Chain A
Amino acid sequence: SQQGEEDPQALSIQEGENATMNCSYKTSINNLQWYRQNSGRGLVHLILIRSNEREKHSGRLRVTLDTSKKSSSLLITASRAADTASYFCATDANRDDKIIFGKGTRLHILP
């Protein structure tokens, strides 16, 4: 079964504010990744967090992982218009396993 349910489904915030998106999954994982998709384009990898990590930073991105709750969050600080996109979490159960995506969160940054 698919896993990776993002929450909320859609989010609109003012430019400069922080955006937080959540992801829940169902089974144990090896890694959790976040991807971004701009309209009409392919997905782009943003950040990866391993199952033995709890928090990771990359520029304006902060990812947390709670394996006991099977959940992750993606925080984008100081949002910009260019951050408008859909964001997906993706998980894999084993290192060479398929990667499963969720429905995504549509983020809209208002000027």
Chain B
Amino acid sequence: EAGVTQFPSHSVIEKGQTVTLRCDPISGHDNLYWYRRVMGKEIKFLLHFVKESKQDESGMPNNRFLAERTGGTYSTLKVQPAELEDSGVYFCASSPRLVLSQGWSGANVLTFGAGSRLTVL
């Protein structure tokens, strides 16, 4: 089974430019998450998709960030225009949708991609 794939692994752009990060989750995983880690700080939640719908986008920093998940498959995270403080590692994670039949035994365990390192100069 293929894991979560992220592209590119590293992107270096200048302030004001646009970058699009892509995430391919594990096939069949309805949940898809984006996180960001700035050096030395916490892994910050950005948003959560359930299939193609945004379940929670409370962590998106501002309207320079746009996330989409076409057809409930892969997802893209676009930063336009990029600012210096956007530098960091962007992680994508996916998990299967929990079902009622799982009851108490259900738990949301995430599978992460290797991350996309963004450097804004």
Contacts and interface: CB of A to CB of B under 8 A. Distances in A.
Interface in A62-92: 88, 90, 92
Contacts of B98: 95-96
Contacts of A33: 107, 109
Interface string B62-93: 00000000000000000000000000000101
Interface residues of A, number: 26
B20 to A, nearest CB: 19
Contacts of B50: 96
A100 B59 CA distance: 11
A101 B38 CA distance: 13
A84 B104 CA distance: 33
Interface residues of B, number: 30
A48 B91 contact: no
A8 B101 CA distance: 39
A45 B109 contact: yes
Best-buried of A33, A48, A99, A102 by chain B (most CB within 10 Å): A99
A102 B106 CA distance: 23
A2 B112 contact: no
B91 A42 contact: yes
A110 interface: no
Contacts of B45: 2, 98-101
A104 B43 contact: yes
B26 interface: no
11 contacts: A4-B42, A31-B107, A42-B112, A43-B110, A48-B107, A95-B98, A98-B55, A98-B56, A98-B59, A103-B40, A104-B43
Interface of B: 4, 33, 35, 40-45, 48, 50, 55-56, 58-59, 91, 93, 97-98, 104, 106-115
